[in-house]
Amino acid sequence: MPNHSNRHTRKKWTLFVCVLLVLAALIFVGSSLYERFGSYLSMEGIETIREWIAGLGWRGPFIFVALVAFRHFLFLSSQFVLILGGLVFGFFGGALWGGLGLILCAVGQYWAARALGENFGRGRLAGRQAIFLTQVRQAGPLPVFLAAAYPLGPMTAISVASGAVNLAVWKFTFAVSAGSFVRAALYAVLGESILHLSSTDLMGWGLLVTICLLAPLLVPGVRRWLKSNLMLPQDIDTGSPSAPSVPDPEATE
């Protein structure tokens, strides 16, 4: 029995070290690429990148999917990369290839968190982000879909939480796939249009997107839900005594 326990411990530590080595290698490669090609990652360099990817032919989509999937290691935001997808491939191509890249990234994060266990998830999701562990455990794939579909949703946090609490593989894959294609399509629309819009049109688009992002906050029920679900969980030690609870007047109405 002790030998079996020791072997299990060694396997767990071996897996942990392997994951860390892979992450370190990806960060090193990403840093090197960023130092070499960082000057292209600006609005001035978008046209150059667009022409380069378009000139790759059938290899372009595969390279773009990899770019989306490994964007964290290249210090790129999903917004920038997905808009670039709309610029290069148009709406349908940007939505398709961008969505596939988001799915691959999320699935990789899910399996890494699942392999390392819930303790890793709790360490990774410190502070207010720890609420995602509870949300996925209680609501299942719904928060996964919402986080993936919402343009500014916390996809990394929700993917790690899903793996840490062992959400069923098919549930996670279905939810994150549906949400990823929605997010990629929204940014692909903007990317396809950006080259043909004037500065006034771009300001109008920006205002419209801002209104869409903030509109849910106008609903009192949404604000109450966010307030209750984004508070620090009670089982997390914040280092200071908790204040006594005060009844919410709105809750009694």
**Tens of pLDDT, residues 86-113:** 888 888 999 999 999 999 999 999 998 8
What is the chain's mean pLDDT, rounded? 74
Whole-number Cα distances in Å, 41 to 35, 38, 59: 11, 5, 20
| Residues 34, 41: Cα–Cα separation, whole Å | 9
| Residues 81, 83: Cα–Cα separation, whole Å | 5
232 pLDDT exceeds 50?
no
Q: Averaged over 65-76, what is the pLDDT?
A: 87
Burial label for 43, CB within 10 Å (0-12, 13-18, 19+), is exposed
Q: Averaged over 145-155, what is the pLDDT?
A: 88
| Residues 35, 30: Cα–Cα separation, whole Å | 9
43 pLDDT exceeds 80?
no
pLDDT at residue 29, as a whole number = 53
The residue length of the chain stands at 253
Q: Averaged over 240-251, what is the pLDDT?
A: 45
21 pLDDT exceeds 80?
no
**Tens of pLDDT, residues 111-124:** 988 888 777 777 77
